[in-house]
A and B are shown apart, each in its own frame.
Chain A
Amino acid sequence: MKSYALFLGCTIPARQPNYEISARKSLEKLGIELVDLDNMTCCAPPPLRSIDLKTSLALAAYNICLAEEADLDIVTLCTGCFESLAMTNSLLRDNMKLREEINGILSAVGKEFKGVKEVKHYLQVLVNDVGLTRLKREVLKPLDNLKVAAFSGCHLIRPSKYLKFDDPERPRIYDSLIEVLGAKSIWYRNKLRCCGGLLRGYADDIALAIARDKIVNAVSAGAECIATLCPFCFLTLDLGQMLIKSTYKEEYNLPIIHYAELLSLSLGVDPKELALEIHKIKIDKVLEKIGW
């Protein structure tokens, strides 16, 4: 059985039990063991990078060191955490001068980055460790041609130079993981474009306009839901529709569902166990379609 250090990050435990539960349950069903390590701290996301790039590298490297000491690869759920940790991992592996500098900082807490462990996103575990063939076999409740607007969020694929997850302009992995559940990953305009989530709290008007674009594009392409991988995207698009309603007087009622939730449902996890009440836009239509 393959084991991973689960990197939860800050937002998921604080606001999205639906993501955490569905991720844990789906991986458990697929025979992946998750280990919760002590002392994991913030992943050093863009807001910290905005304050100080070197501090972010050090903090991200600190988290990686904890996994190195436990001799475990890391799996993240949030794509933001994935980006921070994977980018740091790649940078410090290749740039020895930078590594030396960061290790100088880490020596203050008795740590040293060695670059011997991988940082993976949940999807990579699914596609590489479980594999599409097995996943297909495990599906108990196929998603019945549900028209899914796949939205990976930016930080799963970009910056591709460091993340090397998938082709940055034509990613396929995520879509194939959706399709293996029996759903249809549809084309919609500007599919790979950002949701604007990181501007929330600083420029809410712009953030909302970007989010609205995303919703409109998905709806006009006939999407029955948007499948997300990042707690920020989820919030921006789910809660965002409430704000769109009050600001633009437009109502879309497009369910936003984490991929982990879709996977859990298709693996036969009872929706009642999934804390689905977190969704501001109710997903009953989707549940119905799948046959729950």
Chain B
Amino acid sequence: MEEIKVGVFLSDCGGQLSKILDFNAITSFVKSIPGVTFVAQANEFWRGDGLKIILEAIESRQVNRIVVAESIPKVSEVAIAKAVEEAGLNPHFVEVIDLKDHCAWPHRDSPLEATEKAKAMLLAAIEKVKLMEPIERAEYPAVKSVLVIGGGIAGMQAAEDLAEMGFQVYLIEKEPFLGGLAARANRFFPTDDCAICIQSPSSLKTVANTSRKCVYRSGISELPNLKIYTSSKVVKVEGAPGNYRVAIEQRPRYVEIEKCIACNLCSNTCPVEVPDEYNAKLKTRKAIYITTPLVYPPAYVIDEKACKFHECAKCVEVCPTKAIELDQKPKQVILNVGSIIVATGFKEFDPSVIKEYHYDEYPDVITNLEFARMIDSFGPTNGAIIKPSNREPVKHIVFVQCVGSRDRRWNPYCSSICCMISLKHAIFVKETNPEIDVTICYIDIRTTGREHEYYYERARELGVKFVKGRPAEIIHDPATNKLIVEVEDEILKKFLELEADLVVLATAMVPPEDAKELANILGLEIDSDGFFKEYNAKLRPTETMHRGIYICGGATFPKDAPTASLHAHSAAIKAAKFLMNGKIVKDLKVAVVNEDYCGDCEFCPVTCPYNAISLVPKDNGRLVAKVSDLLCEGCGVCVGTCPVGAIELKHLKNNQILAQIRALLSINGSSKPLVLAICCSECGHAAVDSSGMAMMSYPANVRVLRVPCAGIIQVQHILEAFRAGAQGVMIVGCKPDGCHHGVGAQKAQRKVELAKRLLSEYGVEPERLEMLNLLFIEGDKFAEAAKKMTELVESLEFIKLP
């Protein structure tokens, strides 16, 4: 094995640091550390002449491990690693620490103590790099093809974007026709245009003589590298990012799309009539049908539940193109894709459960979507507004807002689009049938989007009545066949009985019933409201914890069409960025399993936030954990979870953690008892940075160990710190719900609780251990807590764990 030669490079930041820290003392200390063969000091090391010094040391002095003390570590790390790599050294052999923000600035009032702390910090970094092993770089092929699940507005837009960028795209839709919920909505706000209108592919010159088109004539189906599967769903996904094998199951249509000319002869002939669900059961349809003439694919479909098949087969005889095949079977199709986009949308909540509204009992109580079907000129009543119970014209309509939304019994969230839908509908009624009396009962009217408030304004000007109050009950008077809406007018404090011919419920929008199943298949997370959970709502809104899989549109939360579009374009860009090079390049900073120790306890596979671990059988039939190098993000949460220490990070092995703990606590130099702060590299460490940058002071006895995620921490690390002389330990992680690796901060919290119990058993005061959850901007809180902990342990007896 090659001899380890550590070069240590001390930047004094243009002389700023040497005013506080004694660089001579530091240099002679560092030189005395075994393995250190070269020490240099300069103004800076991350660029220019400073960087040259490092490269020369590698070249001429065979230095093969690099420790740099720099002041802007987050950026300098990148620059130095890159240069070092070019010089032929593994870039992970570099350790950069920050003597300015972590030492000189916060401890500038006690320079002697700061100098001693600097020594400890350098010692820890040196011990760490000495134990560092090379990290390889791996390349994985990525198929330049994408599966888009869901053929609503978001799915269609994302599919079109990617297809036009040259990716092979598969768009699958569980219904027999594209369009999703949007297609049934008739009109959209805030554009007031057709709901089935999408952007035409710009690459198709022939159809692109207008910029927008109905789905069915937009040309989307003509994109050569876009393949559409209707009546289909995902049943299985195997493989890894860049290379998935997806099994989809396609229900038979019983009509050949290529042959069907939509002549309607079959439907005319079909003897079976069933209620038309698509059209809110306001009319019936045949067993062989098409939802509206405006759909893609423009081909009929047979409703399996209604059709009598060979008992009847009348349609087969009349079909002029012989398109009908009653013996079609479900098909399985296997697709090889590099990435997946989930665009499964949302659906209307079934308001029957709100029994006091009697949706399931009174035919004249309908939902907004059903109302949208009614006012569609292609719809079941050809646009006439009628009472479903007797098909008579309507004189009074009452809209009821927040039906199943903002309701802690059903869906605690605001569905965010229902106010606008009701306003849109109310305006439509008033503009087409001014004589109809329209009232909207609401708790709050929420019109937060661009131009949305103008709808509210327009509705008032058109004479729509607004009653602030959530109706208590809808009553049907059998004698008059009228509905009575009982509601308090909160502003007048009056009990109203509003008479209505039609009550329209602005129902909540909820996840489709199969969202959970799909989430399981894809290994995605579902939030407490049942929607697909994104990686980070602010910064990575269309990414998931599973790289390679993206989400958009209503699948993440109810959205209006403009927002769903926007979201879809974002997901398309993310997928394209991921696949565009045809390969995935990755440094293997990942977890590795020691198979001899692994006891197949299933803790780590369940805990890994990225689903990177599976249990695989070994020759002797025993199951052991196996980490997917591609999926692993190197967070270390598994390390913190494994009860037998069988898994560790290649880039931060257990012996490196322990060596650093010991090194940081081996030198004190102050009269105060030592405190170790173990900080996650994300917000936790950043908070320490920010306290230093803002020159907030805290005592130098506080030492900082950086780990990838608080979730890596084991109880035994905490105990080791106390054994090594710490009198207090702080764990600094992200906010519990803001952990960059999902569960890390929560896991750490549990470790802390466990360790506290153990400490009590050893007779050690549990207050000596504390968990903090901080943001970068909360450096003041870190400094404050560091001071407090120091004061606390000063007031307690000195302890030493055996």
Direct contact between A and B in the complex (CB less than 8 angstroms)?
yes
B356 at the interface (CB under 8 A from A): yes
Docked CA distance A19–B252 (Å): 65
Whether the Cβ atoms of A187 and B355 lie closer than 8 Å is no
Residues of B in contact with A, size category? under 10
B48 within 8 A of A: no
Chain B nearest Cβ from A159, distance in angstroms:
13
* Contact A187 B478, beta carbon cutoff 8 Å: yes
Which residues of chain B are near A168, meaning CB under 8 Å?
355
Nearest 9 CB-CB pairs, A to B? A169-B355, A169-B356, A170-B355, A189-B475, A187-B478, A167-B355, A189-B477, A190-B475, A168-B355
Distance A170 CA – B478 CA, assembled complex (angstroms): 17
In the assembled complex, the Cα of A190 lies from the Cα of B477 at a distance in Å of 11
Measured CA separation A168–B355 after assembly (Å): 9
Which chain B residues numbered 476 to 506 have a C-beta less than 8 Å away from chain A?
Answer: 477-478
Could you tell me the dominant secondary structure of chain B's interface residues? mixed
- Pairs across A and B, CB under 8 Å, 9 listed: A167-B355, A168-B355, A169-B355, A169-B356, A170-B355, A187-B478, A189-B475, A189-B477, A190-B475
B477 partner residues in chain A, CB cutoff 8 A: 189
The CA-CA distance from A187 to B477 in the complex, in Å, is 10
With both beta carbons as reference points, the residue of chain B lying nearest to A169 in the complex is identified as: B355
CA distance A187 to B478 in the complex (A): 9
* Chain B min CB distance to A221 (Å): 9
Question: Within the complex, what minimum Cβ distance (angstroms) separates A167 from chain B?
Answer: 7
Q: How far is the CB of A117 from chain B (nearest CB, A)?
A: 30
Give 5 A-B pairs besides A169-B356, A170-B355, A189-B477 with Cβ atoms closer than 8 angstroms: A168-B355, A169-B355, A187-B478, A189-B475, A190-B475
Please name all residues of chain B whose beta carbon is closer than 8 Å to the beta carbon of A167 when the two chains form the complex: 355
Q: Size class of A's contact patch?
A: under 10
Q: How far is the CB of B407 from chain A (nearest CB, A)?
A: 14
Contact with B along A166-177 (1 / 0, CB 8 A): 011110000000
Q: In the assembled complex, which residues on chain B have CB atoms less than 8 Å from the CB atom of A190? A: 475
Query: Chain A interface secondary structure, helix, strand, loop or mixed?
Result: loop
CB contacts (< 8 Å) of B475 on chain A: these are: 189-190
How far is the CB of A76 from the nearest CB of chain B, in Å? 26
The B334-364 residues at the A interface (CB cut-off 8 A) are 355-356
Shortest CB-to-CB span from B485 to chain A, Å, is: 14
Cα A190 to Cα B486 with chains together (Å): 11
A167 to B477, CA, bound (A): 21
Closest-CB distance, B360 to chain A (whole angstroms): 10
Which residues of A are in contact with B by a Cβ distance under 8 Å?
167-170, 187, 189-190
Question: A169 CA to B472 CA in the complex, in Å?
Answer: 12
List residues of chain B with CB within 8 A of the CB of A189. 475, 477
Residues of B with C-beta under 8 A to A187: 478
CB-nearest residue of chain B to A168: B355
Q: Which of B45-95 contact A (CB under 8 A)?
A: none
Q: Which residue of chain A has the shortest Cβ distance to B357 in the bound complex?
A: A169
Nearest opposing residue in chain A for B477, CB measure: A189
Provide the bound-state CA to CA distance between A190 and B475, in Å: 8
Contacts of B355 in A (CB 8 A): 167-170
> Closest CB of chain A to B404's CB: distance in Å?
15
Q: Which chain B residue lies CB-closest to A189?
A: B475
Cβ of B648 to closest chain A Cβ, rounded Å: 43
For B478, what are the chain A residues with a Cβ–Cβ distance below 8 Å? 187
CB distance from B627 to the nearest CB of A (A): 43
Q: Whole-angstrom distance from the CB of A205 to the nearest CB of chain B?
A: 17
Q: What 1/0 mask marks residues of chain B from 595 to 637 whose CB sits below 8 Å from any chain A CB?
A: 0000000000000000000000000000000000000000000
Q: Distance (Å) between the CB of A172 and the closest chain B CB?
A: 12
Q: Closest CB of chain B to A26's CB: distance in Å?
A: 31
Residue of B nearest to A167 (CB): B355
Closest to A187 in B: B478
Max count, chain B CB within 10 A of own CB: residue among A167, A189, A190:
A189
A290→B355 CA distance, assembly (Å): 35
Residue of B nearest to A220 (CB): B479
Kindly provide the distance from the CB of B650 to the nearest chain A CB, expressed in whole angstroms. Answer: 48
| Nearest CB of chain A from residue B570's CB, rounded to whole Å | 43
A169 neighbours in B (Cβ, 8 Å):
355-356
Please give me the residue from chain A that is nearest to B354 by CB atom. Answer: A169
Chain A nearest CB from B12 CB (Å) reads 61
Most central of A167, A168, A170 by chain B CB within 10 Å: A170
Q: Bound state CA distance, A189 and B475, in angstroms?
A: 8
Least Cβ–Cβ distance between B474 and chain A, in angstroms = 11
Complex Cα gap A168–B356 (Å):
9
Least distance between B306 CB and chain A CB atoms (Å): 30
In Å, the complex CA distance between A167 and B355 comes to 9
Assembled-state Cα–Cα distance A18/B344 (Å): 63
In angstroms, how far is the closest chain B Cβ from the Cβ of A42? 33
CB-defined contacts of A170 to chain B, threshold 8 Å: 355
B362, chain A: closest CB distance, angstroms: 13
Measured in the bound complex, the distance between the Cα atoms of B355 and A190 in whole Å is 14
| Per-position binary interface string of chain B over residues 216-244, scored 1 when its CB falls under 8 Å from any chain A CB and 0 otherwise | 00000000000000000000000000000
Minimal beta-carbon separation of B217 from chain A (angstroms) = 48
Complex Cα distance A169/B361, Å?
12
Q: How far is the CB of B456 from chain A (nearest CB, A)?
A: 32
With the chains together, A170 CA to B362 CA distance in Å? 14
- Give, as a whole number of angstroms, the nearest-CB distance from B785 to chain A: 33
Complex CA–CA separation, A170 to B475 (angstroms): 13
Cα-based distance from A187 to B355 in the complex (angstroms): 16
CB distance from A229 to the nearest CB of B (A): 21
Give chain A nearest CB distance to B479 CB in angstroms. 9
Bound state CA distance, A190 and B497, in angstroms? 13
- How many angstroms from the CA of A219 to the CA of B363 in the assembled complex? 27
- For residue A113, give the distance in angstroms from its CB to the closest CB of chain B: 29
What separation, in Å, do the CA atoms of A187 and B479 have in the docked complex? 11
The CA-CA distance from A170 to B356 in the complex, in Å, is 8
**A271-B477 Cα distance, complex, nearest whole Å:** 37
Q: How far is the CA of A23 from the CA of B408 in the complex (A)?
A: 41
- Report the separation of the CA atoms of residues A150 and B373 in the bound assembly, to the nearest whole angstrom: 39
Shortest CB distance A185–B (Å): 15
**Chain B residue with Cβ nearest A193:** B473
How far is A170 from B355 in the complex, measured between Cα atoms in Å? Answer: 7
Question: How distant is A25 from chain B, measured CB to nearest CB, in Å?
Answer: 36
**Chain A residues positioned under 8 Å from B356 (CB to CB):** 169
Residue of A nearest to B484 (CB): A189
CB distance from B400 to the nearest CB of A (A): 16
B102 to A: closest C-beta gap in Å: 47
Q: How far, in Å, is A165 (CB) from chain B's closest CB? A: 15
